[in-house]
Chains A and B, each alone.
Chain A
């Protein structure tokens, strides 16, 4: 300040701070614009196609929904009209009810009918250009047919195989994630729920049923996995480098007879006569399904490694799928050990699929499929295309790669181990029932002990042909007995039916 003494200049002028406050507010409004762009453009399609969008709900009353088709074009869901000329749904086959779901005027929607509601009623077509142009015409609604990867033939076979038992069968193509079979028993009659005349009685009856037919066991049933989980443990150990194909433990196999003591808890294992006193490597331990080897492998991997490995397969969260799924878990969490395990006893038990470990059949099918697909996890999916019934073109819903869960070399070790479990000499007594005649088959059975006196859950996961897998499978039979006795042969017959269908 030279000769001119400027009154007021002693303090910063109000003008400059005002400009700064204005700029701050402009930034805040820029954030608003960003948020608006996020919801209105980035997340728009996803939110609009949500079943709780009222636009879909409003349309549901009057819209003639598109067809739902299986992979061969067989109609799974069709529409009829009641006396007032209003449409309602009819479903061709009870065996797909938990997958296709229902669309009822009174009880809303479930299953694929719910997930793809916006497309089936024609609010969206799945094609951005059509969606934009459709707004130029008087009736902007354009229902789509939903193409699925389901095989009605195999689905029927799976439900028949499960028979009176409660359980689930999941078959998918490990290369593309396309789900061929997603069967849960008992099944229910979805047409009765959709038909306005019988809707109320049918639905209340189903809700009261103790067998819980409305529960889609394949995707939402959580079961102790038992020995099928050993594949996850092996993958987690291989990922961290804690174990390798040649890993042997000195306690093995003599400890089999007395069991392995971890922090005072004795892990027992049936003696495998064929192993004599040999120390087992990974392949042999998998072949004979040795709990003690896997307990030691899990302890070597550590809780964090095991939890991370399982999470890579999808454990710990709902699965990215066309239907709602339950989150599988390795542990309840909250414990002091890495990964949330309470102590080494829980970690050791979890390593062979007991303790607090729970998995859905779909999750275990994804484990098998990942091993079969060189360690690459594909997003499982049912919907393959949205098709314009008037021939206006088809939008294909492509496969999604969810990432490399384990290296191709590690995957090859597991393929070898699972092949040995079905084809090997040591394992004959356990899993050989899954063998598909004439096809090199890989798999792992599981017998999930539930405590108490009841029968264990019977599990099997596997794939075939082992040298170039085209199909992966998970079978669960609630209280079905030993895995090798119930689930494994069932899986073998299902895979055989698959190869019959596709002509090898």
Chain B
């Protein structure tokens, strides 16, 4: 067999083989990523616990699992509906940016307070911090990593 043609053949096969090597490595990355995602899928970003609420709706002790964007207010289309006469229709928002929670006031009448300080601009929120809207007090808690299996 002519060595040149052997070489030609080897290069043809090598090209195909390398195509599959790339594909294999990429798919391995994808699978790892999916497995990691499956582990994290049920991990919560954070929780909001009702500490005090004069009206009882939501009752103290109620836990809200938070989405990346959570709005607080009296209107029913807020993520967290607070029945409190001193809370505005759309009162405040909690947002998860990058790796931290922020709270911002959405132009409420009575203001939003973090650990007793009034929120004027989006403010970094730590776990355990107290958020007060109207007469209702809430606490930001770390989310749980539940045992959700895929």
Q: Which A residues have a C-beta under 8 Å from some C-beta of B? A: 3-8, 135-138
B24 at the A interface (CB under 8 A): no
B67 at the A interface (CB under 8 A): yes
**Given contact pairs A7-B79, A7-B80, A8-B79, A136 touches B1 in the complex (Cβ within 8 A):** yes
**Given contact pairs A136-B1, A137-B1, A7 touches B6 in the complex (Cβ within 8 A):** no
How many angstroms from the CA of A7 to the CA of B58 in the assembled complex? Answer: 14
Q: By the criterion CB–CB under 8 Å, are A6 and B65 in contact?
A: yes
Interface centre among B9, B47, B61, B79 (most CB of A within 10 A): B79
Q: By the criterion CB–CB under 8 Å, are A7 and B67 in contact?
A: yes
Residue of A nearest to B41 (CB): A15
**Given contact pairs A136-B6, A137-B2, A7 touches B62 in the complex (Cβ within 8 A):** no
**Given contact pairs A136-B6, A136-B9, A7 touches B66 in the complex (Cβ within 8 A):** yes
Q: By the criterion CB–CB under 8 Å, are B5 and A3 in contact?
A: no
Q: Which residues of A contact B2 (CB under 8 A)?
A: 137-138
How many angstroms from the CA of A136 to the CA of B70 in the assembled complex? Answer: 67
How many angstroms from the CA of A415 to the CA of B112 in the assembled complex? Answer: 106
Instruction: Supply 25 A–B pairs (Cβ within 8 Å), ascending by A.
Output: A3-B62, A3-B63, A4-B47, A4-B63, A5-B58, A5-B62, A5-B65, A5-B80, A6-B67, A7-B64, A7-B65, A7-B66, A7-B67, A7-B70, A7-B79, A7-B80, A8-B67, A8-B79, A135-B9, A136-B6, A136-B9, A137-B2, A137-B5, A138-B2, A138-B5
Residue of B nearest to A1 (CB): B65
Interface residues of B in 1-59 (CB under 8 A from A): 1-2, 5-6, 9, 47, 58
Q: Which residues of A contact B67 (CB under 8 A)?
A: 6-8
Q: Which residues of B contact A136 (CB under 8 A)?
A: 1, 5-6, 9
Interface centre among A5, A136, A137 (most CB of B within 10 A): A5
- Additional 5 contacts, C-beta under 8 A, given A7-B80, A136-B1, A137-B5: A4-B47, A4-B65, A5-B80, A7-B79, A137-B2
Residue of A nearest to B62 (CB): A3
**Given contact pairs A137-B2, A138-B2, A4 touches B9 in the complex (Cβ within 8 A):** no
Closest CB in chain B relative to A64 CB, distance in Å: 22
Closest CB in chain A relative to B119 CB, distance in Å: 20
How many angstroms from the CA of A375 to the CA of B63 in the assembled complex? Answer: 84
Residue of B nearest to A2 (CB): B63
Interface centre among A4, A7, A135, A137 (most CB of B within 10 A): A7
Interface residues of B in 52-106 (CB under 8 A from A): 58, 61-67, 70, 79-80
How many angstroms from the CA of A7 to the CA of B61 in the assembled complex? Answer: 17
How many angstroms from the CA of A137 to the CA of B70 in the assembled complex? Answer: 70
The 4 closest A-B pairs by CB, nearest first: A7-B79, A6-B65, A4-B65, A4-B63
Q: Which residues of B contact A8 (CB under 8 A)?
A: 67, 79
Q: By the criterion CB–CB under 8 Å, are B64 and A5 in contact?
A: yes
How many angstroms from the CA of A3 to the CA of B58 in the assembled complex? Answer: 10
How many angstroms from the CA of A7 to the CA of B67 in the assembled complex? Answer: 7
Q: By the criterion CB–CB under 8 Å, are A4 and B64 in contact?
A: yes
How many angstroms from the CA of A3 to the CA of B62 in the assembled complex? Answer: 6
Interface size class of B (residues with CB under 8 A): 10 to 19
Closest CB in chain B relative to A68 CB, distance in Å: 31
Closest CB in chain A relative to B150 CB, distance in Å: 11
Closest CB in chain B relative to A41 CB, distance in Å: 16
Closest CB in chain A relative to B148 CB, distance in Å: 13
How many angstroms from the CA of A7 to the CA of B95 in the assembled complex? Answer: 13
How many angstroms from the CA of A6 to the CA of B66 in the assembled complex? Answer: 7
Closest CB in chain B relative to A170 CB, distance in Å: 47
Closest CB in chain B relative to A136 CB, distance in Å: 6
Interface centre among B6, B9, B61, B64 (most CB of A within 10 A): B64
Residue of B nearest to A6 (CB): B65
Q: Which residues of B contact A135 (CB under 8 A)?
A: 9
How many angstroms from the CA of A6 to the CA of B80 in the assembled complex? Answer: 9
Closest CB in chain A relative to B2 CB, distance in Å: 6
How many angstroms from the CA of A421 to the CA of B110 in the assembled complex? Answer: 115
How many angstroms from the CA of A136 to the CA of B3 in the assembled complex? Answer: 10
Residue of A nearest to B12 (CB): A135
Closest CB in chain A relative to B124 CB, distance in Å: 21
How many angstroms from the CA of A138 to the CA of B3 in the assembled complex? Answer: 10
Interface centre among B2, B6, B65, B79 (most CB of A within 10 A): B65
Closest CB in chain B relative to A237 CB, distance in Å: 60
How many angstroms from the CA of A4 to the CA of B47 in the assembled complex? Answer: 9
Closest CB in chain B relative to A6 CB, distance in Å: 5
Closest CB in chain B relative to A171 CB, distance in Å: 47
Closest CB in chain A relative to B143 CB, distance in Å: 11
Interface residues of B in 112-136 (CB under 8 A from A): none
Q: Which residues of A contact B6 (CB under 8 A)?
A: 136
Q: Which residues of B contact A6 (CB under 8 A)?
A: 64-65, 67
Q: Which residues of B contact A137 (CB under 8 A)?
A: 1-2, 5
Q: Which residues of A contact B9 (CB under 8 A)?
A: 135-136
How many angstroms from the CA of A6 to the CA of B61 in the assembled complex? Answer: 15
Closest CB in chain B relative to A186 CB, distance in Å: 50
Closest CB in chain A relative to B55 CB, distance in Å: 16
How many angstroms from the CA of A212 to the CA of B146 in the assembled complex? Answer: 86
How many angstroms from the CA of A136 to the CA of B2 in the assembled complex? Answer: 8
Residue of A nearest to B71 (CB): A7
Residue of A nearest to B59 (CB): A3
Q: Which residues of A contact B47 (CB under 8 A)?
A: 4
Closest CB in chain A relative to B137 CB, distance in Å: 17
How many angstroms from the CA of A4 to the CA of B61 in the assembled complex? Answer: 10
Q: Which residues of B contact A4 (CB under 8 A)?
A: 47, 63-65
Closest CB in chain B relative to A18 CB, distance in Å: 12
How many angstroms from the CA of A106 to the CA of B80 in the assembled complex? Answer: 84
Closest CB in chain B relative to A128 CB, distance in Å: 18
